[in-house]
Amino acid sequence: MKKMIAADELAKLWIRLAEKSTLFLPVQDGPTVLYQPWKDGAQVELEAFNSAISPKDIFLPREETYLHYHCSGQSLELAAVEDDRAVTAFGIHPCDLKAIEMLDRVFMEQEPADSLYQKRREKTTVVALSCTKPDPFCFCGIFDVDPLDAPGADVMAHLVDGYMHLEARTEKGKALLEEAGDLLENSTIDKIEREIKTTDFGLDIKGLPEDLKSRFDDPAWDELYKSCLSCGVCTYVCPTCYCFDVEDYGHDAEGERFRCWDSCMFGHFTQMAGGHNPRPSRKERVRQRFMHKLQYYPEVYNEIACVGCGRCLRSCPVNLDIVQAIKALGGEKVEHR
Amino acid sequence: MSIANPLMPQMATILDITAETPDVKTLRVSGKDGLPFEFMPGQCAMLSVLPVGEAIFSITSSPTCRDCLEFSIKNVGKVSSYLHSLAPGQQIGIRGPYGNGFPVDQIKGKDLLFIGGGIGLAPLRSLIGYCFANRDDYGQIDIVYGARSPADMIRKSEVKETWAEQPNTNVHLTVDAEFPDWKGHIGFVPNYVTELAFTPANKVAITCGPPIMIKFVLQALDKLGFAPEQVITTLEMRMKCGVGKCGRCNLGSVYVCKDGPVFSLAELNELPGEY
């Protein structure tokens, strides 16, 4: 099913979608673009380069309460908090959707499945949008991301000549287009032709995961971490980072338990109660993050846990991004070395 | 389509609390009807006290004990100190079991050498109880247990009386230094293992204790001729989810909470030494 709608009519589509679901889309928020629930008057930025923070928080929110407790004397009551709302994730770029599929393996394929994540994923219809204006930091090409196509989308959308073309790829996607049928007309294009130029930063990642298996004690790690400030911003903006914390909030009689994003860049992340810390310094923590992306994750899933979205390049205050790490570890084309 | 939230605890009740040492208490915990869940020796559980938090502990009772789970807990942190302050009858949250557990089938027919230090006896005790309950499945059992002082030994009467009286079983106790009321062996656990000169033939060594003890025990076993495949240990790391997702106990391509905490030395040699 292929439909289209004039770009200046899109607000009507969003009003329709927001009636029956929480509609997340890229919204200009001060100086940055973030995926946020749509509300009337929101400044939607479909053609902007990647959002400051990845849309992973649609599925793995920055914080989510999952139980309430009541205590009285020695007795304790626990009540599960369920989130059953339907969601539409609109305007997700192919790189970000590929990253979400990487999280799917961790949260849904690895037993036991994470019900909080899985329910949200199942209740969400993803409208992916092909890229029009990649950022100078985008380097998705080396990770086999096609900026014009997101294979896992429910609806694949393209902005062409003042129209948004929408192709339903799944039953969920078909239902979405049918829901808004009266707003849409049949699409007039068959295939999207557009040249998207992204850089490769001179990287050559072929064989890097296998190569790193024996390089846990490589001297490169003794230098690479030195500029790290342990601020953790790389992990917060990264679409494939998923470490989380579980904490309680409340008083003796009642309160809640929530989980929230955490960062392996923080010293307390692995700090044990007795005082022992297996990753005591920035060296171990920087190594952990990059080894997880480049070696540990690929060892299990045969794919580097990076989609070249460029967010860490834009956000790291000391330029200790994944491109620098790959270069320091020798993942550079010969002519660039 | 309704799947259960693996982070959601179930209710449990503390049946009683016994002080073992100045800083270790053993809690007996039951679910609504006896055991909250089935488990194997070496597996762990998350205990919840709200709003203090949740922490992971090894189950020290054997699965052959059917009426409750036992946890021997050292008072070192936020959750453990709160657990120490509770009284019998208190309801808490529990979820589990987590981890792989000891390879009880793989070690059948072998002589077993248990080497524990301090609170490190807690996870070993689950397997020791299991082996005694299935005594014919296992060969000779040697238990080397040490602590800083006689007062720091956990499960003292059980170790000295019950275990020492089991058939084909030897218990070897040691403390780090001289104490007025101590007539047994004096010296560190790794040295005692060397002195006892265990032979590796048809034997599996299973060790748990403080990291420094484990380090030297591994060296001692190596000198005695134990191959890495014959040495098993159980790791302790900070954990939040228990189901291989939150990232704290990630070690190379494994998560200690899910793929461990029990590893052979041969397996550990293949992983980053970040524990």
Per-domain residue ranges of chain A:
2-49+83-186, 208-243+263-336
Residue that is written with structure tokens 């989980």 in the block: A259
CA B132/CA B167 separation, integer angstroms? 9
Which residue type occupies A91? G
Is residue B226 predicted with pLDDT exceeding 90?
Answer: yes
Q: Tell me which of A59, A248, A295 to substitute to probe the interface with B (most B C-beta atoms closer than 10 Å).
A: A248
CA atoms within 13 A on the CB side of A126: 26
Tell me, what's the pLDDT at B2?
66
CA angle B165, B170, B172 (to 5 degrees): 115
Nearest CB to A110 within list B211, B244, B252: B244
Q: Which two tokens stand for residue A325?
A: 């790490």
Nearest CB to A78 within list B11, B89, B248: B11
Single out the residue of A240, A260, A295, A284 nearest to residue A100, CA to CA: A240
Interchain contact, A122 vs B78, CB within 8 Å: no
Q: Tell me which of A243, A263, A301 to substitute to probe the interface with B (most B C-beta atoms closer than 10 Å).
A: A243
CA A252/CA A42 separation, integer angstroms? 41
Is B241 in CB contact (< 8 Å) with chain A?
yes
Contact residues for B33 (Cβ-Cβ < 8 A; gap 6+) = none
| Mean pLDDT score, B29-42 | 95
CA A3/CA A157 separation, integer angstroms? 9
CA A278/CA A320 separation, integer angstroms? 22
B residues 168..207 contacting A (CB < 8 A): none
Is B15 in CB contact (< 8 Å) with chain A?
no
CATH number of the domain located at residue range(s) B10-98 in this protein: 2.40.30.10
pTM to 2 decimal places: 0.94
Phi, psi of B200 (to 5 degrees): -80, -10
Q: Which residues of A touch B260 (CB under 8 A)?
A: none
> B253: nearest CA in chain A?
A296
Is B247 in CB contact (< 8 Å) with chain A?
yes
Q: Which residues of A touch B238 (CB under 8 A)?
A: 269-273
Contact residues for A39 (Cβ-Cβ < 8 A; gap 6+) = none
Q: What parts of chain A have a pLDDT lower than 50?
A: none
CA B62/CA B65 separation, integer angstroms? 6
Question: Given this structure, which CATH class describes domain B111-234?
Answer: alpha beta
Q: For B70, left (φ over 0), alpha (ψ -120 to 50), or beta?
A: beta
Smallest CA–CA distance, residue B21 to chain A, in Å, is 17
Nearest CB to B8 within list A67, A242, A255: A67
Residue that is written with structure tokens 């194997």 in the block: B40
Say whether A88 sits in a helix, a strand or coil: strand
Contact residues for A192 (Cβ-Cβ < 8 A; gap 6+) = A130, A148, A158, A160, A165
Interchain contact, A270 vs B248, CB within 8 Å: yes
Tell me, what's the pLDDT at B232?
98
What Rg value do the Cα atoms of chain A yield, rounded?
Answer: 22
CA A186/CA A197 separation, integer angstroms? 30
Between strands A163-168 and A2-6, the pairing is antiparallel
Q: Which residues of A touch B92 (CB under 8 A)?
A: 76
| Residues A12, A23 contacting (CB under 8 angstroms) | no
Check the CA dihedral A34-A37-A42-A47 and report its sign: positive
Interchain contact, A248 vs B252, CB within 8 Å: no
Q: Tell me which of B50, B78, B80, B258 to substitute to probe the interface with A (most A C-beta atoms closer than 10 Å).
A: B50
Please give the order of strands across the beta sheet that includes B185-186. B185-186, B169-175, B141-147, B111-117, B203-208, B231-234, B262-264
CA B179/CA A54 separation, integer angstroms? 61
Tell me, what's the pLDDT at A84?
87
> B48: nearest CA in chain A?
A248
> A212: nearest CA in chain B?
B252
Contact residues for B146 (Cβ-Cβ < 8 A; gap 6+) = B116, B117, B118, B173, B174, B175, B176, B188, B189, B192, B209, B213
Of A125 and B275, the one with more pLDDT: A125
Tell me, what's the pLDDT at A50?
86
How many other β-carbons are positioned within 10 Å of the β-carbon of residue A180? 17
Q: Which residues of A touch B90 (CB under 8 A)?
A: 74
> A267: nearest CA in chain B?
B248
- CA A96 to chain CA mean position, Å: 5
Is B160 in CB contact (< 8 Å) with chain A?
no
| Bond before B228 cis per omega within 30 degrees | no
Tell me, what's the pLDDT at A83?
83
Residue that is written with structure tokens 């016994």 in the block: B18
Indicate the helix (H) or strand (E) that contains B193.
helix B189-196
